[in-house]
Structure 1
């Protein structure tokens, strides 16, 4: 089913003369959820950089000889603003064109939006506008799909901080918001507009939309819009406005939950406001708002001492006490407050008679380091309790690095291995799954008891 107009074909021809363009019947989708690069994709991009062979032939051979998942993740990586191959970003268009000829290809609004935003950023406005025009024509009779495409376009431009591209895409959503008779379409357009403005560091405009046009159109703000505005103000360091919106949320009956608190903690952390971070961590603890993986990530990411340890893998403190002694000032104060509550383990640890499992998926490097220290403390407490029992096996799950910039390179796994080696831990890489560390429960308990035994000088005092 051919859906590309002559106008788009001509526009693209200016970029890549030899590129034939076809649309295939949907079979699978390209998604932009992750820009993770496979080893095969990495080799292909490296070859594009170093080889003297014609780019056309390299792309054709890569698409024809690679599984669809490898092609799509490689395309996703090139379309990402954080690609590790920014000099190859212009090749996203010919790669997308060649992929569109594959039998497994299907049109996907997220990918087209990302590609249009990239082309705009590269100064190729004609190609970008042609892609948008074709998408609009394709989706014109399906307003629910159209609003998603425009929303993804707003997101793509906001990630690239492209003011002109964003304003045009925002205008598309604004027209849909005012013209559509569908409550669903209005609501989705409204959500994308608010979050987009906040991503572009324009939270004041977002608040004006929520309290202005939104209310006039019968769209009451939800927790999503208000949290977006909280995050927007916080990221810019406008703390008075941020706190005012949090209070407005509470007045309207919205719960200031873990997500909202993490936004506030993160905002204060980015700007080095350690005293305020501590106050909010205490508020979370006192209000029964649980710490989450993101709480740990938000705190650790603003602690230069912690980041230096885990980045260099040197001078790693191997206990909470040792870490507290090594951190000074506001950083030490925040870390002590975070580690003083072990509630995070309810989310990431499973304790059963056959196995105790700590799952580090989702943690950044600093967050993983801190939670391992908390976990070891909790394991010591439980295994010292005669009524608790000893599990048959202990497992720490680090993952295989599937969400790293290059798939298979797990920095968390390297960090945990370094910690275990330095501690003399019986936890070893699982032969069946090298993304895990395992040990027998009894061996782990004996090691932990020996490690926590005070020095002889202290025993005799």
Structure 2
């Protein structure tokens, strides 16, 4: 398959009318871009106005870009470019918004953004605009193969997120050509990684495994742990668990350690298919092998438990102790939750304890894992505050975040969950006036409260 772009084709003026400010573009790290795609309240008002106002979209976009901070404008664009945007009916406005942004003094060209936009336009059927963007990007990057590899890799990733087979195959062909023609070992390795992970993202792990074997035999490129994990996870997502375990076995025989990240990937795939008994077995393997649970372990497992997810979303009759929760769970869910809550090692990752302050930080925790960790933390706090070797800290803080990374910035589901738990338990932990993303209380007040709570439960 091949596709030639731009032969005798002129890019539309609205795509080319920007200032070239980065001779060597450095796209934002993925974590930064993910944070930026969170929709601000100001961005939400703008998008809502686009659906209700009688003014033309062009005028609304112009006023929004001219009158809003750079961070708000970019986060709104990234939200429209996201496959999970909450305004899919406005996706077609991403191009005019981008074109208007390109005319601002602060604009700097970013190949990752262009790749996302090109993939969106392809999905919407605006193929000429999509191809023009790609052609223009390739022209600017010229013979800088490292940057071309990154752009094509991002383009392929963007198409895979939208399940666009044709767009993905075209980007894959570009990468394959780079793999065959580049003399740089670095470029070959990066292209190889993009191709393997891309095939797996498109649910084609068998092709990815064939590519790894072919390049190992003919090209002398040895697979790294990244390729093994990508293929393993690809098989797992499809429910091909025999293949998953086979690849995992090959990975170990090749000298790679099966660490927490790898276990979490396995747990996640079993969770997708509701295989709770197997998840319980893998959790036991983790503990017996001395591999620590992480926040992601809790996220992967709790997200696969429909009973827990139903509880934390409704917040009605939420069990407020581990004992109460265990009474509500049955079957495989009970097994995996029992394994998660069977030890409190996770608190070493999320809690800091000293004489002045105990701080529990729930950043990175999903709703289900926040709930489970809160139950575990309350039990551990009760134990430690009654142990003279620990003492009573001056202050106790629970950090939930203020919703900066939520779908709509400023609305934190984790904060709502914790507040509901604290109110139902008549806790002294209240929202901190100085930081609305935290709950705070005096150590002595928390100790007394937990003591009374324990006494009440015994009666």
Same fold (TM over 0.5): yes
- Contact 1:5–1:134 under 8 Å retained in 2: no
SS in 1 for 2:99: helix
Deviation sequence 1:165-218 (CA, Å, 0-9, x none):
000000111010111000110011001101100100001111111111244222
CA-atom RMSD in angstroms: 1.8
Q: Name the counterpart of 2:296.
A: 294
Q: Name the counterpart of 1:333.
A: 335
Instruction: Find out whether 1:21 has 2:17 as its counterpart.
Output: yes
List aligned pairs for 1:310-321, cutoff 5 A: 310-321=312-323
Cα 1:257–1:20 shift into 2, 3 Å: closer
- Contact 1:426–1:447 under 8 Å retained in 2: yes
Shift of the alpha carbon at 1:29?
A: 7.9
Q: Name the counterpart of 2:195.
A: 193
Shift of the alpha carbon at 1:377?
A: 1.1
Matches of 1:215 and 1:142, distance apart in 2: 28
Q: Name the counterpart of 1:33.
A: 34
Deviation sequence 1:308-353 (CA, Å, 0-9, x none):
1100010101000000001111111111111112111111100111
Q: Name the counterpart of 1:283.
A: 285
Shift of the alpha carbon at 1:113?
A: 0.3
SS in 2 for 1:347: helix
Matches of 1:390 and 1:414, distance apart in 2: 27
Higher mean displacement: 106-115 or 384-393: 384-393
SS in 1 for 2:387: coil
SS in 2 for 1:404: coil
Where does the alignment leave 5 or more consecutive residues of structure 1 unmatched? 14-18
Matches of 1:331 and 1:366, distance apart in 2: 13
Q: Name the counterpart of 1:395.
A: 397
Shift of the alpha carbon at 1:383?
A: 1.1
Q: Name the counterpart of 1:237.
A: 239
Q: Name the counterpart of 2:380.
A: 378
Shift of the alpha carbon at 1:25?
A: 2.3
Higher mean displacement: 106-115 or 28-37: 28-37
SS in 1 for 2:436: coil
Scaled by the length of structure 2, the TM-score of the pair is 0.95
Structure 2 residue corresponding to 1:103, chosen from 99, 102, 105: 105
Instruction: Find out whether 1:224 has 2:226 as its counterpart.
Output: yes
Deviation sequence 1:224-244 (CA, Å, 0-9, x none):
111011111101100000000
SS in 2 for 1:291: coil
Deviation sequence 1:258-295 (CA, Å, 0-9, x none):
11101111111111111100000001111111111111
Residues paired across the two proteins, number = 448
Cα 1:321–1:314 shift into 2, 3 Å: same
Scaled by the length of structure 1, the TM-score of the pair is 0.94
Higher mean displacement: 229-238 or 33-42: 33-42
